[in-house]
Amino acid sequence: MDSNRVTQNRALWLSSFDKPLELVDLPIPDATVGSVVVQVLNTVIQPYAEDIHTGKLPVFNLSLPLVPHPSHIGRVHAVGPDAVRAKPGDLVFFSGSIQARDDPDVRIIQGHHGGEGDAGRKLMQGEWRDGALQQYQKVPLEAIFVLNEQRLVEELGYSPADLHELSFYVIGVGAICEAAKIQAGETIAIGPATGTFGGISSDVALARGAYVIALGRSEEKLQRLAKQLGNHDRFGYVVMTGDQAADAAAIREATPEGRGVEVFNDWASGELNGSPFLSAAIRAVRPGGRIVLSGGPAGDLQVPYTLVMHLNLQIIGKLMVTRTGVDLTLKMANSGVLKLGKRGGSTHNVYSLEQHHEAFRYAAKNSGFRVYTDIAPNAW
């Protein structure tokens, strides 16, 4: 790659929540010490992307202006002088989540989430402000993962869009492997399971050898999920009715020996207040079990205090994933245990930077587990 020839960096620029994104030409960033500049090949679009850009989701704590959007799949354009492994031309996954080098308690998602409070905002407003909706993104060296291109592209036939499903799977691995520490043969209830992360986490739990009981309010959607997961013999579901005792009994009944689950993983969505299924699901957790809170609803939770104490239950919050968890996800993808793209039954509608309005609209209407909308700032 002759980096001297490239002079422009097409980008989508968000200067105000009241103005649409603007296509601009920015300079290509320099790869300074501790950084890498990546030619962005694909970034998957969340259904709520436009809500972020219009300021409807202040929870993202964004300071403008910036180039929005979190993680990507890309090709290394240039590396800082301290890089020991990554080199120009490598295919990489940028995970988006970064932490302050002088305070690991301060975390942001570059271009996407300004973290908590002023410290997060400070980290976000400097070097690590701009996100993936540009052709060349400068990111921290330690936040990229060099992919095994021979295995993933040549042998398994994955495209950059297929590979960017990794950005969902790492979060599922964070919940299922790091927080829940699921073991083969255990049973996990996951709910709501019919959204993107409910589906992803169900897939990860099955891949780790667990029995999965998906919880949802729509039988039709739960049946679709069962089909998407290949009607797996370790997969079942419960249509939740809102009757706490009946729902808890139905979950227990769906477990292999009728004795309840070792884990409940909650994915309550952002538009909810509290969790719709936690009260019932927690009553189906076996003694010593784990409850992992991974969703992002508003409001507070009510838990049955004495039950939690009597049964020695653990309630664990989990955001994102560690570097070790990303490495584990890559091993699972390389081994073929996690199947991406067509191999897993996923579809991708890929748009250019210029077509971003269509991409956001399409994603808002159609995207979900294994139905993805993407933007490709550079051709593959």
Ligand X SMILES: NC(=O)c1ccc[n+]([C@@H]2O[C@H](COP(=O)([O-])OP(=O)(O)OC[C@H]3O[C@@H](n4cnc5c(N)ncnc54)[C@H](OP(=O)(O)O)[C@@H]3O)[C@@H](O)[C@H]2O)c1
User: Which spans of this chain sit near ligand X (rule: CB under 6 A)?
Assistant: 171, 192, 194-198, 216-218, 221, 267, 269-270, 272, 276, 294-296, 318-320, 368
For residues 305 and 83, is the Cβ–Cβ distance under 8 A? no
For residue 288, the 8-state DSSP code is E
Give the nearer residue to ligand X in terms of CB position, either 1 or 298.
Answer: 298
**Which amino acid, 189?**
A
Residue 293 CB, shortest distance to ligand X, in Å, is: 8
Give the nearer residue to ligand X in terms of CB position, either 29 or 172.
Answer: 172
Residue 48 CB, shortest distance to ligand X, in Å, is: 8
For residue 134, the 8-state DSSP code is B
What whole-number distance in Å separates Cα of residue 228 and Cα of residue 147?
Answer: 26
Residue 220 CB, shortest distance to ligand X, in Å, is: 9
For residue 308, the 8-state DSSP code is H
| CA neighbor of 191 nearest in space, from 269, 120, 255 | 269
Give the nearer residue to ligand X in terms of CB position, either 196 or 202.
Answer: 196
Helix (H, G, I), strand (E, B) or coil at 130: coil
Q: Which residue has the tokens 């690590």?
A: 128
Residue 31 CB, shortest distance to ligand X, in Å, is: 28
Residue 7 CB, shortest distance to ligand X, in Å, is: 36
**Which amino acid, 40?**
V
Give the nearer residue to ligand X in terms of CB position, either 195 or 341.
Answer: 195
* Nearest-CB residue for ligand X: 195
Give the nearer residue to ligand X in terms of CB position, either 11 or 171.
Answer: 171
Q: How many CA atoms lie within 13 A of 176 on its CB side?
A: 33
| CA neighbor of 12 nearest in space, from 330, 375, 257 | 375
Helix (H, G, I), strand (E, B) or coil at 51: helix
Residue 196 CB, shortest distance to ligand X, in Å, is: 4
Give the nearer residue to ligand X in terms of CB position, either 30 or 219.
Answer: 219
